[in-house]
Amino acid sequence: MKILIIENEVYLAQSIATKLGELGHTCEMCTSTKDAIRSHNYDVVLLSTNINGQDFNPVIETFKSSIVILMVSYISNDTVSKPLSAGAKDYILKPFMIEELIRKINHYQDYEKLKHRNVAYEKYLSHNFLNAKYEKSFEDVELPLFISSSFQKHADAFAFNYAKKRDLPIHFLTLNDAKTLTEVNSLPQNSIIYIIDYQLLKKADKKAFCDLIAGKNIIVSSTDKVEEVEHRVLEIESERNVFDKGEILPIEDYVKFIVLNYQDKYPDTELSKKLGISRKSLWEKRKKYDIIKKK
């Protein structure tokens, strides 16, 4: 990382720079805020609030895209509260161990990465779910809930938008993973658990699964019709499907969709013929996509 140290105690600044340099970081130093704002492109700015007569706001504004950590000798409104309100990320009390400073730097670096990643995911989901909307109010929905929809995107959109509306974290699981049933009980209850691929469960396992999710904040989706369950079932029908309104699937996604949704409606001989592939190729597709054919 590239780190700027703003400190008028030169010996202290050099000591910090040496220790950070030994850990592989590139450090630069300056003794005033006026000199600091002439620079740019730093990952981290260590700002001493002991520099008398200095205005820290221009520094914090200049480096608002960086991680600004205050180095303070005492805690007051001027040394901590005001700079934090202006946009500094955190403070560390002098004297401090370099390990504690590194811990704070790493923590805020991880936080910034997650924040930017989350923004990207939010934009992607909003774009992906643009035409998959649930018209009714989420206020009428009680969990656990089963969603039956031939178009997986509609169930996904419902689950993620429901979690966003409730301002709760969401955990994604698939019944295609053998560890899913074990994970359900280990996840926090103040969150939404979204489980897909209910249609892959064997009939003999469905009763135990329904007992497992009873009383939990769980949404379960199935591309088949959901029958004989004690929990609420929401059927989302779409006037559109994968073939209309300009949504063109890649060939591989098209084959996967057809195999997953029609393998129980046609024998393998007919299904492979409709796809224009051999029965051996159909078997290879199932293996590739981890699609289990129900007996």
Q: What is the mean pLDDT of the chain?
A: 87
Give the H or E element holding residue 29.
strand 26-30
pLDDT tens digits, residue range 78-135? Answer: 889 999 999 999 999 999 999 999 999 999 999 989 999 999 999 998 888 877 766 6
The CATH code belonging to domain 138-235 is 3.40.50.300
> In DSSP terms, which residues pair with 195 in a beta bridge?
173, 220
Q: What is the pLDDT of residue 241?
A: 52
Cα angle 230-233-239, degrees, rounded to a multiple of 5:
160
Distance CA 125, CA 118 (A): 10
What sign results for the dihedral spanned by CA atoms 267, 271, 273, 278?
negative
Residue 18: which residues within 8 A CB-CB, separation 6 or more?
none
pLDDT bracket for residue 245 (50, 70, 90) = very low
What sign results for the dihedral spanned by CA atoms 147, 158, 261, 195?
negative
Q: What average pLDDT does this structure show over 199-216? A: 90
CA 276 to chain CA mean position, Å: 39
Copy the structure tokens of residue 141: 């929905």
Q: What average pLDDT does this structure show over 266-286? A: 88
Could you tell me what percent of the chain has a pLDDT over 90?
Answer: 50
pTM (two decimals) = 0.68
pLDDT bracket for residue 242 (50, 70, 90) = low
Asked if the domains at 2-119 and 138-235 fall in one CATH topology, the answer is yes
Copy the structure tokens of residue 32: 């005033």
Domain ranges of the chain: 2-119, 138-235, 251-289
Whether cis (ω within 30° of 0) applies to the bond prior to 144 is yes
pLDDT tens digits, residue range 143-166? Answer: 999 999 878 888 999 999 999 989
Least confident of 131-135, 217-221, 236-240, 268-272: 236-240
Q: What is the pLDDT of residue 210?
A: 92
User: What is the architecture, at CATH level 2, of domain 2-119?
Assistant: 3-Layer(aba) Sandwich (3.40)
Distance CA 214, CA 201 (A): 17
Q: What average pLDDT does this structure show over 14-38? A: 90
> In DSSP terms, which residues pair with 194 in a beta bridge?
172, 219
What sign results for the dihedral spanned by CA atoms 86, 87, 91, 97?
negative
Q: What average pLDDT does this structure show over 239-262? A: 68
Residue 294: which residues within 8 A CB-CB, separation 6 or more?
199, 200, 202, 264
Please, are residues 147 and 222 in contact by the beta-carbon 8 Å criterion?
Answer: yes
Q: What is the pLDDT of residue 247?
A: 60
Using the 8-state DSSP alphabet, how is residue 93 labeled? E
Residue 246: which residues within 8 A CB-CB, separation 6 or more?
none
Distance CA 132, CA 140 (A): 19
pLDDT tens digits, residue range 30-67? Answer: 988 888 888 778 999 999 988 877 788 889 999 998 99
